[in-house]
Amino acid sequence: MYAVIETGGKQYRVEVGTELEVELLDVEAGASMKFDRVLLVADGETAAIGRPVVANAEVEATVIGRDRGPKTIAFKYRPKARSRVKKGHRQELTLLRISDIVLDGHSAAADVKAAEEATKKDRAKLEEAARRQAAADAELAAKLAAEKPVKAPAKASAAKSAAAKQATAEKPAKASTAKAAAAQTSKTVSASKAKADTAAAEKPAAKKTTTAKAPAKRTTKKES
């Protein structure tokens, strides 16, 4: 629900809880006051328009305090008369907070209060449901932990110990195989070196025999 009020020759659109600045009113801070000049009151899809004011409607407000508006400068200049007048002005204001809007006995503040209470109840219900769910989850987790003790770490430790034993058993075998491979390679290298030496020793003898046989063949040709 909102309303349009008139004060100080100006119109203001207000709701419950609205804070506004109006021109200075003769009231003290903390006091409550009512505006009788209500030009319009709207509640949802219905609206009451005043001619000029709405009957049986009023707006209540609480005075917060006083303030001063921004300075405005007024400057008057008359040409060829050497007349220049400069004035400054700060309007005195009253700070208000709208506390209620009433139309035909229906209070907007009561509606706002009922809505806030309903919101609080809904929030409390949601918090209670969240607490119950958390308690149920904790109880279920405790039951599962009691029924099925944790076995995964034991299995993991057993698997780790088995892997460590296998690794330690494989290390000597790998070392022995490496030594055997090294010995085999050394044997093959020595055998290849021996073959190369024998081949190098046999080659000069073959050459000498061929050179010795060549003159005999020539002599036989001459005799024939």
Give me the pLDDT at residue 172, please. Answer: 57
Bridge partners of residue 32, in order along the sequence: 62
Higher per-residue confidence, 179 vs 221:
179
* Domain match, 82 and 117 both: no
* Domain match, 9 and 90 both: yes
Domain that residue 144 falls in: 108-158
Q: Let me know if residue 178 belongs to a domain.
A: no
* Domain match, 32 and 100 both: yes
**pLDDT, tens digit, 9 for 90 and up, residues 159-196:** 677 777 776 666 555 556 666 666 676 666 666 666 66
**pLDDT, tens digit, 9 for 90 and up, residues 69-96:** 999 999 999 999 989 999 999 999 999 9
pLDDT band per the 50, 70, 90 thresholds, residue 133: very high
Q: pTM of the prediction?
A: 0.53
Answer whether 13's CB lies under 8 Å from 41's CB: no
Say whether pLDDT at 210 is over 80.
Answer: no
Q: Let me know if residue 174 belongs to a domain.
A: no
